[in-house]
Structure 1
Amino acid sequence: MSLSVVTDETFRELVLEQEKPVLVDFWAQWCPPCHMIVPVLTEIAEERADSLIIRKLNSDENPLTARDYQVMSLPTLILFRDGSPVWTTVGARPKARLLADLDAVLEAARV
């Protein structure tokens, strides 16, 4: 399973208008840590397909969305819920740490 791609043109529909939470990976081809995190995100996308959507946005090819969300470093992961950003992290992380952080944010949002 590959991660689905989002662009400046499709961002509203594929991220902001989704019922499930959406984790967006802002990345670029020249960024080594961006490539390191792809297998982790792919595993999470498969394991959490029923409750979480993961999308990739190439920041070099889609500068408007990256600018709108003030992405300054790559990779930046932003979790959107009900069309709004609710959590952001910068840099590659181990799977366990990323899942723990995501679970904490998503659980807090349910309360």
Structure 2
Amino acid sequence: AESLAEKIRSGQLQPGAQLPTEAELCAEYDVSRTVVREAVARLRSEGMVVPEQGRGMFVSQTPAPRNFSIPDETLRTLPETIALLELRLSVEVESAGLCAERRTDKDARDIRA
């Protein structure tokens, strides 16, 4: 994922460019299909690539800004880890509540489906 992300950031893979196939990525990086799928899923979740049904994965025309993340190495002690969990708990519970309040009937039907 990092190698592909760097190719995108450096311009080696331009916006709109199609990513190589799974088989090509497996061969290039000497990894399994599972590893390639995880890497592509990570890039997709970061908004760097977008799928086009029946065509493949493409570099996003408008990459999303980097998501908020806290590297594992910053959580060195139990108090730091607990503080992060408390932060997540407060943000995630509030977010879920706001989503529930603001959902439409169509949203609820889609979730049920």
| TM category, shorter | under 0.3
The higher radius of gyration belongs to 2
Normalized per residue, the structure richer in helix is 2
Specify which structure has the higher proportion of strand. Answer: 1
- TM-score normalized with structure 2 length: 0.25
TM-score (norm 1): 0.25
